[in-house]
Amino acid sequence: MNVAERLGLVNRPRRLRSSAAMRGLVRETRVNRDGLVQPLFIVDGKNIVQPISSMPGVSRLSVDAAVRECRELDDAGVKAVLLFGIPDFKDAIATSNYDPNGVVQRAASAIKDALPHMLVIADLCNCEYTDHGHCGIIGPDGDVDNDASVELLVKTALTYARAGIDCVAPSDMMDGRVGAIRQALDAEGFIKTTIMSYAAKYASGFYGPFREAADSTPSFGDRRTYQMDPANGREALREVALDIAEGADIVMVKPALAYMDLIRRVRDACDVPVACYNVSGEYAMVKAAAQRGWIEEERIVDEMLTGFARAGADIIITYFAKEYLKRNA
């Protein structure tokens, strides 16, 4: 019999849950408020705010509207935005993506002029800019040509850096793109431009609302030859290791909710910052259920973001960033 048993002592973990103050005192995990990133969808035009039906509360914004939104985000405490462009013109080789006067390039310049301290990240992919909706150039075999697509990404990354973007975020899952982008940025003197790689991006059903938002649904086939099989975990660690070796400053797991085991495994396997993307389908499910009164939205959002942080995410990209920070000011 041990001392506690002899003295009749009872273990009472509930003492540490007895009040809000006590629970706060001993709380193990806290969401990194400075690490919340708000995605924005940018379109051509002026004074445009186009609500996205499958993502309540999220809209496509023209450049001027995006600047106004960034001022509100700044007031709420959001310190970083992730830009996606939806151009008026699309073709087979994503010409609008690397146009120095493209929607993302103009939005980045305008945001940095208005709010120099705000961190501007640009998603780097081709799917929103191709008329076929795939993430690169289609080769003669009908599949995406990896190396030709990397060349497009490099051209675009340079126009982003010239526009003042702080961080480029390649999301295409082409082999070797991080190294090619890093080499090109460094060669032009953009040694401070950060690369946040979508290192483990899965071919997921959680992207549906995003494809409405970005008008990027493939016109044929799917993306399973370049995005990852949801069943694979070890492969994610290999992809992460390759991207870090090629120069990625930050690595990302996408989606987040069904992949928290991968967030933890990536966190344990590397020493660079780890991001996760709380994607459109995850957002839409919460919003839809809350609108029907089936769940308490604020509690669910708090649990999700805390879960991502507990799994090991330093950075959380989420459409809930603004409202979470306003509510937890």
User: Per-residue pLDDT tens for 216-262?
Assistant: 677 655 677 888 999 999 999 999 999 999 999 999 999 999 999 99
Sign of CA dihedral 119, 311, 226, 133: negative
Among 48-57, 71-80, 179-188, 222-231, which is the least confidently predicted range?
222-231
The structural domains of the chain, ordered by start, are 36-327 (3.20.20.70)
pLDDT, tens digit, 9 for 90 and up, residues 91-129: 888 888 889 999 999 999 999 999 999 999 999 988 888
pLDDT exceeds 80 at position 176: yes
Give 269's contacts (C-beta < 8 A, 6+ positions apart): 237, 240, 241
Angle at 30 between CA 76 and CA 19, to 5 degrees: 105
Helices H / strands E in the chain, number of each: 12, 10
The token pair that represents 29 in the structure block: 């995990």
50 CB burial (10 A radius; 0-12, 13-18, 19+): middle
Q: 59-62 and 36-43 as β-strands: parallel, antiparallel, unpaired? A: parallel
Given a cut of 80, whether residue 1 has pLDDT beyond it is: no
Q: Which residues contact 36 (CB under 8 A, 6 or more apart)?
A: 78, 79, 80, 305, 315, 316, 318, 321, 324, 325
pLDDT digits over 128-151, tens only?
Answer: 888 777 778 888 888 889 999 999
pLDDT at 111: 98
Residue 128's pLDDT is 84
What's this model's pTM, rounded to 2 decimal places?
A: 0.94
Cβ atoms of residues 161 and 184 within 8 Å:
no
Catalytic amino acids?
A: 201, 254
| Token pair of 280 as six digits | 């459109």
Q: Is the dihedral of CA 302, 203, 253, 259 positive or negative?
A: positive
